[in-house]
């Protein structure tokens, strides 16, 4: 147990919180991603795949961490207290840094520290993630989340979190070698600090047995699955401030290779006519292209099939001036009518912040608009997706989907993993970004009258050169935006 005030998953208490309201939505058997890699642990923010009592594990490529804050009152990257993971990667007290506080770390040689909501040099709390390497003579050197391939889930406030970092970090030459790439043990400890430098609590130390490491960081041979017969393929993609208009290549490659029937975009602030012209010129389709926008900034529906409105072109939360970023449409597809929409909820903040409260209000209004538009019970296929910006709490996600399936059930949250990996992030900034990758984008769909066949996230950074070459993609294609494309193949129930 964390001494005094905190706890980590070391006493087998995980079962008491699995499925609780603060946990990420569960996935059914048909909702797992196509092409997801097999890993010891899936970084989806849930803990069912963890052995009882385990707080840290390793496989041939990654080290995994499981921890709990004891409640869901805050998010790990926007907290009033800093969570620090202390790691002695060679289990050797003679390397790294020695510290007396907390006392359980006194016999560790700390080589690597991962700070969530880090405390700055001025003693104030910050946001995001900071990683520090301590070399053999005690120099503290900053490294990026990308250097160690670190990310955690969920991004929203929860009772339990899981994280992952690479074992292939030998390029960080200040660390003991071979370190994580060799056999042996890693020692670690979780610590909670209040500004400016008060240790509030810490966990019992943990020891990770390292199996033999793979020879290099993993790159998967997986490929995008072909769209099955009888399905509609829908992509959701935040394209980062209309970047397809100035950097056409990466985006046109992705759209051509994935070949979606319907594309739900965010941050592409162009009129429908311009979107149609862009796709007609750069993503050839025998059916041509259609587009629908609203008065809100950057949201649009682009489709190979005609679109008619679902809901008004402008919706505004009481007390706000700007319209909610949502556009809805009904599309007559070859497999039936599709009710769909692209949404982009308020950015930033943390749980309970003004931004989080506005996200919830926007989600509630979007739900009301869709509910009214579908009151007649039409559209056997219902899919809504976009950038939910879940960096605060989970209720905005639940508010959007509440009661919108046929018969009054809530829409289901799809669970797309990155192709070739068992990770569930949808956003990754630059290496120098203070936030590590996370899941900000979601797809929700109706299961009463339709079924999912495939669902996935595309991140070319996880795929081999051979895989990319077979598909006709370049590694930098999915680096065109800080968000990644999400894809779902769905069809009417048989």
Q: Does residue 41 register a pLDDT over 60?
A: yes
Q: Has residue 68 got a pLDDT over 90?
A: no
Q: How far apart are CA 447 and CA 492, in angstroms?
A: 9
Average predicted confidence (pLDDT) for the chain: 92
Q: What is the pLDDT of residue 141?
A: 96
Q: Is residue 135 part of a domain?
A: yes
Residue 101 has pLDDT above 50, yes or no: yes
Question: Both 382 and 297 in a single domain?
Answer: yes
Domain's final residue, options 210, 243, 263: 210
In a domain, 114, yes or no: yes
CB atoms within 10 A of CB 94: 9
In the DSSP assignment, the letter for residue 28 is -
Same domain, 156 and 298: no
Specify whether 438 is located in the same domain as 320. yes
Report helix, strand and coil shares of the chain as percent, to nearest 5: 15, 30, 55
Confidence of residue 219 (pLDDT cuts 50, 70, 90): very high
* Residue 444 to residue 404: CA distance in whole angstroms: 10
Q: Strand ranges (DSSP E) for 241-325?
A: 262-266, 290-293, 300-303, 307-309
- What pLDDT shows up at residue 4? 39
User: What pairs with residue 161 in β-bridges?
Assistant: 67
**216 or 7, greater pLDDT:** 216
Mean pLDDT of 58-75: 90
| pLDDT for res 377 | 85
Q: Is the pLDDT of residue 14 over 80?
A: no
The pLDDT value given to residue 494:
81
Residue 113 sits in which domain range?
7-210
Per the listing, tokens 């290779």 go with 257
346, 392 Cβ separation under 8 angstroms = no
For residue 286, give the CATH number of its domain: 3.60.10.10
Q: Does residue 257 share a domain with residue 189? A: no
User: Do 302 and 177 share a domain, yes or no?
Assistant: no
pLDDT at 324: 98
Tell me the CA distances in angstroms from 160 to 49, 191, 226, 382, 439, one per residue in order.
Answer: 13, 15, 35, 31, 15
Using one digit for the tens of pLDDT, what is the confidence trace for 245-281?
999 999 999 999 999 999 999 999 999 999 999 999 9
31 pLDDT more than 60? no
267 shares a domain with 182: no
Whether residue 227 lies inside any domain: the answer is no
pLDDT tier, 399 (very low <50, low <70, confident <90, very high otherwise):
very high
Question: Exposed e or buried b for every residue in 346-369, given b needs 16+ CB within 10 A?
Answer: beebbbebebbbbbbbbbbbbbeb
Looking at residue 379, its pLDDT comes to: 87
Q: What pLDDT score does 23 carry?
A: 58
Q: Is the confidence at residue 86, as pLDDT, over 90?
A: yes
Residues 325 and 365: beta-carbon distance below 8 Å:
no
Residue 243 has pLDDT above 50, yes or no: yes
Is residue 363 within 8 A of residue 403, CB to CB? The reply is: no
Does an H or E element contain 278, and which?
Answer: helix 272-282
Confidence category of residue 8, pLDDT binned at 50, 70, 90: very low
pLDDT band at 33 (very low <50, low <70, confident <90, very high): low
The two three-digit tokens of residue 491, written as one number: 């069809």
Whether residues 82 and 159 share a domain: the answer is yes
- Spatial separation of the C-alpha atoms in residues 456 and 34, rounded to whole Å: 6
Residues 74 and 189 placed together within one structural domain of the fold: yes
The structure tokens 């401030």 sit at 241
Q: With 50 as the cut, is the pLDDT of residue 29 above it? A: no
pLDDT > 90: what percent of the chain? Answer: 88
More confident: 276 or 48: 276
- The domain tally of the chain equals 2
The number of residues in the chain equals 494
Predicted structure pTM score: 0.94
Q: Confidence class of residue 115 from pLDDT cuts 50, 70 and 90?
A: very high
pLDDT tens readout for residues 309-353: 999 999 999 999 999 999 999 999 999 999 999 999 999 999 999
Each residue's pLDDT tens digit, 417-450: 999 999 999 999 999 999 999 999 999 999 999 9
- Regarding whether 459 and 416 lie in a shared domain, the answer is yes
Residues 195 and 243 in one domain: no
């Amino acid at each position: 147990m964390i001494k005094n005030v905190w706890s980590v998953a070391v006493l087998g208490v995980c079962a008491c919180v699995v499925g609780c309201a603060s946990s990420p939505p569960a996935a059914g058997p048909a909702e797992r991603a196509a092409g997801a890699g097999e890993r010891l642990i899936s970084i989806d923010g849930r803990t069912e795949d963890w052995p009882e009592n385990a707080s840290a594990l390793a496989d041939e490529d990654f080290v995994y961490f499981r921890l709990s804050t004891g409640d869901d009152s805050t998010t790990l990257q926007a907290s009033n207290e800093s969570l620090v993971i202390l790691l002695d990667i060679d289990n050797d007290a003679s390397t790294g840094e020695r510290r007396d506080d907390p006392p359980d770390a006194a016999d560790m040689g700390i080589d690597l520290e991962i700070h969530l909501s880090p405390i700055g040099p001025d003693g104030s709390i910050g946001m995001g993630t900071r990683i520090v390497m301590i070399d053999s003579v005690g120099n503290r050197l900053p490294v990026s989340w990308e250097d160690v391939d670190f990310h955690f889930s969920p991004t929203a406030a929860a009772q339990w979190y899981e994280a992952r970092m690479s074992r292939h970090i030998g390029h960080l030459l200040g660390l003991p070698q071979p370190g994580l790439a060799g056999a042996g043990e890693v020692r670690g400890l979780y610590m909670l600090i209040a500004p400016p430098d008060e240790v509030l609590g810490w966990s019992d130390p943990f020891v990770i047995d390292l199996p033999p490491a793979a020879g290099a960081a993993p790159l998967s041979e997986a490929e995008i699955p072909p769209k099955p017969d009888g399905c509609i393929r829908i992509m959701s993609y935040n394209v980062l401030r209309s970047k397809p208009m100035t950097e056409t290549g990466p985006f046109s490659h992705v759209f051509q290779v994935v070949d979606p029937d319907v594309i739900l975009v965010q941050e592409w602030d162009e009129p429908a006519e311009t979107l149609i012209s862009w796709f007609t010129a750069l993503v050839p389709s025998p059916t041509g292209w259609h587009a629908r926008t609203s008065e809100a900034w950057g949201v649009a529906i682009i489709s190979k099939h005609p679109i008619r409105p679902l809901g008004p072109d402008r919706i505004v939360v009481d007390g706000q001036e700007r319209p909610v970023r949502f556009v809805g449409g009904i599309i007559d597809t070859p497999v039936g009518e599709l009710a769909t929409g692209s949404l982009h909820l308020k950015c930033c903040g943390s749980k309970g912040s003004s931004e989080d409260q506005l996200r919830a209000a926007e989600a509630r209004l979007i739900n009301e608009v869709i509910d009214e538009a579908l009151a007649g019970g039409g559209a056997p296929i219902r899919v809504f997706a976009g950038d939910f910006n879940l960096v605060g709490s989970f209720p905005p996600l639940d508010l959007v989907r509440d009661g919108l399936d046929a018969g009054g059930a809530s829409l289901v949250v799809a669970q797309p993993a990155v192709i070739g990996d068992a990770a569930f992030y949808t956003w990754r900034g630059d290496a120098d970004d203070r936030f590590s990758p996370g899941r900000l984008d979601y797809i929700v769909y109706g299961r009463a009258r339709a079924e999912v066949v495939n669902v996935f996230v595309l991140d070319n950074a996880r795929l081999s050169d051979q895989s990319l070459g077979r598909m006709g993609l370049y590694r930098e294609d999915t680096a065109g935006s800080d968000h990644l494309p999400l894809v779902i193949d769905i069809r009417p129930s048989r």
